[in-house]
Amino acid sequence: MKAFVLDRYGKKEKLRAAEVPEPELRDDDVLIQVHAAAVNLLDIKLRNGEFKLILPYRTPFVLGHDVAGVVTGVGSRVRQFKPGDEVYARPDDFRIGTFAEQIAVREDSVAIKPKNISMEEAASIPLVGLTAWQALVENAGVRKGHKVFIQAGSGGVGTFAIQLARHLGATVATTTSASNTELVRGLGADVIVDYRKDRFEELLSGYDMVLNSQDGTTLAKSLGVLKSGGHLISISGPPDPQFARDIKAPWLVQQLMRVISSGVRRQARRLQVSYAFLFMKASGSGLRQITPLIESGAIRPVIDKVYPADAINEALAYVESGRAKGKVVIKFR
């Protein structure tokens, strides 16, 4: 089958079209014919080698963390899916590879695709949707009356998280450029900070939760907008000791994560708030909770561009530029 392979780590490396063996179908796997896949910043960071401590993939390998498609085969223990089902998923770590014509995904990581959206729209959801769900619902317990600050509101995670927070009844603040103000307002943002001219740390205070996706400087400033007992959840690092334990990292890696996160954890304790690093997990059950929100119209996919498969390197470059509004999708069929 055709796939797009990363031969070596590096910022200037390109994915190469290649013929690779069809996926091995395990007993609890669902074989998916890929109709669409999405590009995420995580793909860029993996290509660049930034996550080798956490995800030490051996090259060559196939990138891609989002998929929508049709089931063409199931393992002997699979009970929830059958050939012909339209599904979407975020494959498990170390089993990624949606930039290909087929992928085998663990049954527990797959869900039936929302009926009211296209394959391209469905492919845009899993990684950002699960990230927002696990941060806001499972970790921070956001509910009606809470104040939530979501950074980079026009990005892939931001556009989903704003809608989810709004659905949960929270007041939502976000940062974006002036050109994207109407986009994030339409998604449900109540307070919009133009990051090019205003300082959010001077305008926001008393927040229950911050979803951090930016650099260390922004992270440090974000802790100050929380009220006592508030939660800062970062999807951009630094990894903390709890995360290291969760992934059963080697002792030396655990100590490294303890050191690199010590400053932000110390600042959080001083401000009487909590800090946690989130690296989202594949979850079919999570997607099944997101599906009715999409089918009811409470959350809508936001797609900037759809590229043909042969333009995959162009799509990666566009995501890396930081100009994308919402998600960038690759169409395979």
Helix (H) or strand (E) holding 81: none
Token pair 């996550």 is found at 51
What residue has token string 């926001």? 204
Map out the domains of the chain with their CATH numbers.
2-124+301-331 (3.90.180.10), 128-277 (3.40.50.720)
Identity of residue 188: G
What pLDDT was estimated at residue 14?
A: 98
Per-residue pLDDT tens listing for the chain (333 residues): 999 999 999 999 999 999 999 999 999 999 999 999 999 999 999 999 999 988 999 999 999 999 999 999 999 999 999 999 999 999 999 999 999 999 999 999 999 999 999 999 999 999 999 999 999 999 999 999 999 999 999 999 999 999 999 999 999 999 999 999 999 999 999 999 999 999 999 999 999 999 999 999 999 999 999 999 999 999 998 999 999 999 999 999 999 999 999 999 999 999 999 999 999 999 999 999 999 999 999 999 999 999 999 999 999 999 999 999 999 999 998
CB 275 within 8 A of CB 197: no
Best CA proximity match to 219, nearest among 159, 155, 264: 264
Q: How far apart are CA 145 and CA 208, in angstroms?
A: 10
